[in-house]
Amino acid sequence: MQLTLDTDARTLTLTQAGQTRTLPLYSKAAFEALSRQWVRVGWNQKYQYTFSWMGRPVIQLPEDMLRMQEVICDLQPDVIVETGVAHGGSLVFYASLCKALGKGRVIGIDIEIRPHNRSAIEAHPMAGLITLVEGSSTALATLQQVRALVAPGQTCLVILDSDHSYAHVLAELQAYASLVSVGSYIVATDGIMLDLADVPRGSADWATDNPTFAARDFAAAHPEFRIEQPRWPFCESELDANITHWPGAWLKRLA
Ligand SMILES: C[S@@+](CC[C@H](N)C(=O)[O-])C[C@H]1O[C@@H](n2cnc3c(N)ncnc32)[C@H](O)[C@@H]1O
């Protein structure tokens, strides 16, 4: 694709597969086209590896964190389950929201919780709201531990941020979907991989091996879930699509 940005003419011209489209620069369509490229270049530059929350590194696009905050504030979950802990920044972020709301706690699952990360999470001011479970997210022993920590009838939100292969995410969706309460979500993060197959740090097989396709196929087989971007509680713009590393990630439980 070729993108020609002309700030004098106030246009953005896109050429792809022999087709040319010229957009007004200060338009919704131009913002969306520029954002897509910003996300791709930023991902390659490891922009998502430059943030921390309350002292812990968090490997997320801030736009996704803010949208997740809107969902948590609206849903007020009793339990947030996240697969993929790494340094613990996202767990601390969710726990800090629970603390501010006066409701909820967080369960974090990782195949390997490195000792320095475990120590820092366990010493953190939010530690009282965080339970760590070590093991593969799809292992039976892990699932038994997690299920024992979520009581029937609790409002539960699940975030999948561990191994992002199609097979693993589909297995996680099948394993964790029953924990999700009606009206809540299971979120298959990092599907941006499907749009990174051609970027320098990306991989060609991501065009098909990605979480977005796992979520799509899960939804097709499970009519009780629908892929649905959560409603923005505030919007005075014509914009309506998340700028995200999580395209097609939000599976809402309908029944
Ligand atoms: C992208 S990082 C998580 C980032 C974290 N949620 C954050 O926002 O800062 C992915 C984590 O998944 C873990 N992981 C990989 N395969 C896993 C598996 N099968 N089960 C559980 N965790 C796994 C890795 O050890 C790694 O810590």
Number of independent structural domains in the chain: 2
117 lines ligand 1 (CB under 6 A): no
What integer is the mean pLDDT of 214-243?
98
Confidence of residue 238 (pLDDT cuts 50, 70, 90): very high
| Long-range residue pairs from 147-150, CB within 8 A, at least 24 positions apart, any chain | 147/179, 149/79, 149/107, 150/79, 150/81, 150/107, 150/179
Q: Is residue 134 part of a domain?
A: yes
* Predicted pLDDT of residue 214: 98
The range of the structural domain enclosing residue 39 comes to: 2-44
58 and 40 share one domain = no
Instruction: Report pLDDT digits (tens) over 63-119.
Output: 999 999 999 999 999 999 999 999 999 999 999 999 999 999 999 999 999 999 999
For the chain, the average pLDDT equals 98
87 and 198 share one domain = yes
DSSP string spanning 137-166? TTSHHHHHHHHHHS-TT--EEEEE-S--SH
Longest CA span, the chain: 61
244 lines ligand 1 (CB under 6 A): no
CA distance 195 to 182: 31
- Ligand 1 mean position to 69 CA, how many Å? 20
Q: Is residue 195 part of a domain?
A: yes
Q: Please, what is the Cα angle at 188 between 184 and 193, to 5 degrees?
A: 155
Ligand 1: atom nearest CA of 93 is 8
Tell me the CATH number at 101: 3.40.50.150
217 and 104 share one domain = yes
182 and 71 share one domain = yes
80 and 116 share one domain = yes
Q: Is residue 49 part of a domain?
A: no
148 and 34 share one domain = no
Q: pTM of the full predicted structure? A: 0.98
* Predicted pLDDT of residue 28: 98
Instruction: Report pLDDT digits (tens) over 188-205.
Output: 999 999 999 999 999 999
